[in-house]
Structure 1
């Protein structure tokens, strides 16, 4: 069986297996994307593909990997083509995507990445580098002690970090008289554009104050909210695509049919017409962002850590447990929504019901262990604001504390085994090693750890009391702890 490629695309088009217009002239590169993983290819690249088919133009994507060559090795033999699979129950939709024109592996050829950033045909840079890719400290500020940041400030011609590449590319662009860029974070960070802009200013000012002023004058950092559930692709997924297309696709991505992209209408220059194919350009992203982080992402963390503790391998497995589903529903309704600023005309109750249905989709096989990674970076964004709001208004905090307690148990056990997938794994392992073996001992150590819990929350007696109770209950029996939490509603 042949590999997916330009040649196979011609065959698929001739056999009616390709959407009309998909085999048209391939667009030239007009945007750069850092973090060319599955989420980007199942989300922003699909919006770009739709925009190309809707309006044409040269908005082909140059994908950049800051570390691994895996995606380049998947896509290069396929001339950039891959299949997007969307599943809802028994319904399956296949779409061939050609928006990605090239993939660069930054450590192999840093100069090629900088040339793309300086290319006058490029006006947009998008990012999905995960929370840890921003090199931020516990306060959301650029971590000056991060090894990659130190290396890039000392040796800017051979970058290692996202900021090293962006600033070196922008310096080259400025030197050649090019215009600014719209640099768009698509990661699950609260106020992602603001955080990215602030970190860029700190880094560029340290590197070259004149460059920092140029970036401030000519570049923009729109805030965004992105939403789509994209589990890891499995061998079974690849086999199903091969059977459907009659050719191999090593770069298949799988997700749900739902997708959402809300972007602040603050651009430095032209961007693809994403707003004509389903994305929203708005003046204020914050309410959408807060809803997604505190409802969807917090619920995902709840499901992931409780699922890992109880042995429920997938989100759908966990949601099939009535006690867990009720905890998730009540977490959203009783402890998160009271602290949200809901956009005018938005039905938040319908959104919550939709989330419960999406989580329960059995065809996605979204593994709880995949969602559980990088908890030290995710939980501050996902639950701390809701906890502060509930403590301030006297509302219930049992479910929010259940999520935190589940993470503590999960991370402690994984750290002891050496299997914790977290950028602060070594720090957490040392913290747990030094703490006592009783729940109150290691909980006290976690509450004193400012990378996770702000001091104003950590010193709250009600939070301490509720969190310890949930920790002890989960340690004894996960399902019993869920049942007890539901009874206390």
Structure 2
């Protein structure tokens, strides 16, 4: 397939405007000023926060153009600059919809343009700084404080006006605003991290303290760090995405983005200051971000991980494939209804049963190719957020944990199989697993005890809970003796098994 000759750009945007099936910027993009600096303009930002901002400007206008700051890669700047920072969003559902996004007005590459980044962040016109930098970018120590031994932080403390970390750029820019009498911007973390705003606040204040206690105090008094929760499945851009989108819009777009239709952005309602008209385009401002976050972790993320490990054991490749199987669909549906939904109190704005059903329907989107292997990575970290807290709460409340134990046993068996077959395990604890010979044992009790002995994963209470041990042994025995492709039979058998009183 040949791509269109002409590249997407501001000068030929009118050619797309005539296509009524493709939404384009309806605000005065050329004269819209930059009001947001975003650190980490990767795929998720371009498919999520930038789109909410685009829609808010389409509806209500405002100078909310975005300056993206790429901290590690020059790709975003180089590709988007050639098309005036325009790109196409393809919303994947039974029917694909397209929207050209113009909210990003500029992308800077921090390694080459640090002075320009600080100037942009220090400008009075910049009202918000948002971030998607992954947990690594927060430079957190084990106790949640700033890791002063982090190489990037050590560099920035020695070279504060030429930083390389997000934290260094934030504090230096706030310092310049304080010196020049410019109001502080507010900071919005959009990373998929529990209590992301609180974590960001801690490291920013810790960093500022290294220079000036008065700066630390000024930031503490003037900068809001709301917690947020974000959600939308965003597959990476493939070559076929570029070809198909370019063909539809009739112009060459070298960096379109694709996303499922469902999208969610929840922000703490505990801060003041200018912001786009986000609430009119679907952003939820609430006093209970924790409730939304818990709902997502316990329903979407727990079910995702459950499907990943059980599905890979059964030979499936994608979330759609495994969820389309009646047995696995039954497994996660029963897990959600019987053991997850009652484990937490949902926020008043959310119906947990409806939300759970919506999630399973999202998994059945044939246009989203979400690889189970991708979800299965870093399981030793993910299960600590997605599965274990539900087990702990249910055990404490006397609620059932048989299917949660089966979910956890699927992870155990996934690791055991990888070790036996010599497959690569993508996990921070891969070397630790390799040095645990008992994980290769045919004695399932020994395998379960070995996993539970990992005190960096399992709490003292879980390591010593007899009921959990029995359920894990029953589950892993069923996985090894039964046919994983008949998961519904395993589920029914386990649900009939009597538990051991605690």
Query: Whole-Å Cα distance in 1 between the matches of residues 415 and 272 of structure 2?
Result: 42
1:101 deviation in Å? 1.1
Query: Whole-Å Cα distance in 2 between the matches of residues 80 and 97 of structure 1?
Result: 9
Greater mean alpha carbon deviation, residues 436-445 or residues 281-290 = 436-445
Structure 1 pair 348–305 and aligned structure 2 pair: CA distance change class (3 A)? same
Contact residue 323 and residue 482 of structure 1 kept, 8 A? yes
1:214-233 to 2 correspondences below 5 Å: 214-233=218-237
1:484 aligns with 2:490: yes
Greater mean alpha carbon deviation, residues 455-464 or residues 385-394 = 455-464
State the match for 1:131 in structure 2: 135
State the match for 1:115 in structure 2: 119
State the match for 1:285 in structure 2: 289
SS in 1 for 2:471: helix
SS in 2 for 1:95: strand
Deviations 1:268-298 (A, max 9, x none): 5211110111112222322112111211122
Contact residue 328 and residue 487 of structure 2 kept, 8 A? no
CA RMSD of aligned residues (A): 2.7
Query: Whole-Å Cα distance in 2 between the matches of residues 18 and 435 of structure 1?
Result: 57
State the match for 1:34 in structure 2: 39
1:114-263 to 2 correspondences below 5 Å: 114-137=118-141, 140-263=144-267
SS in 1 for 2:69: strand
Deviations 1:12-44 (A, max 9, x none): 224556536537333221111122121111111
1:291-370 to 2 correspondences below 5 Å: 291-344=295-348, 346-370=350-374
Structure 1 pair 217–23 and aligned structure 2 pair: CA distance change class (3 A)? closer
Query: Whole-Å Cα distance in 2 between the matches of residues 334 and 174 of structure 1?
Result: 53
Query: Whole-Å Cα distance in 2 between the matches of residues 151 and 482 of structure 1?
Result: 54
Query: Whole-Å Cα distance in 1 between the matches of residues 57 and 288 of structure 2?
Result: 26
1:154 deviation in Å? 4.6
Q: Which runs of 5+ in 2 are unaligned?
A: 496-502
State the match for 2:103 in structure 1: 99
Greater mean alpha carbon deviation, residues 353-362 or residues 468-477 = 468-477
Deviations 1:202-224 (A, max 9, x none): 33334433222121111011111
Q: Which runs of 5+ in 1 are unaligned?
A: none
Greater mean alpha carbon deviation, residues 454-463 or residues 344-353 = 454-463
Give the TM-score normalised by structure 1.
0.90
1:234 deviation in Å? 2.4
State the match for 1:432 in structure 2: 434
Deviations 1:214-253 (A, max 9, x none): 2111101111122222122222222211221122212211
Report how many residues are paired: 485
Give the TM-score normalised by structure 2.
0.88
SS in 2 for 1:177: coil
Structure 1 pair 469–117 and aligned structure 2 pair: CA distance change class (3 A)? farther
Contact residue 10 and residue 23 of structure 1 kept, 8 A? no
1:265 deviation in Å? 1.7
State the match for 1:61 in structure 2: 66
Query: Whole-Å Cα distance in 1 between the matches of residues 450 and 183 of structure 2?
Result: 49
Query: Whole-Å Cα distance in 1 between the matches of residues 352 and 90 of structure 2?
Result: 28
Contact residue 130 and residue 190 of structure 2 kept, 8 A? yes
Deviations 1:72-131 (A, max 9, x none): 233121111111111222x11111100011122222332222222212111111122233
Deviations 1:353-381 (A, max 9, x none): 11111111111112222333343443322
Greater mean alpha carbon deviation, residues 218-227 or residues 146-155 = 146-155
1:407 aligns with 2:411: yes
Structure 1 pair 53–309 and aligned structure 2 pair: CA distance change class (3 A)? same
SS in 1 for 2:23: coil
Query: Whole-Å Cα distance in 2 between the matches of residues 310 and 150 of structure 1?
Result: 47
SS in 2 for 1:78: coil
Larger radius of gyration: 2
Contact residue 222 and residue 267 of structure 1 kept, 8 A? yes
Structure 1 pair 344–99 and aligned structure 2 pair: CA distance change class (3 A)? same
Contact residue 16 and residue 250 of structure 2 kept, 8 A? no
Which of 76, 82, 88 pairs up with 2:87? 82
SS in 2 for 1:316: helix
Deviations 1:385-419 (A, max 9, x none): 21111111222223323333333444566689684
Contact residue 227 and residue 267 of structure 2 kept, 8 A? yes
State the match for 2:9 in structure 1: 5
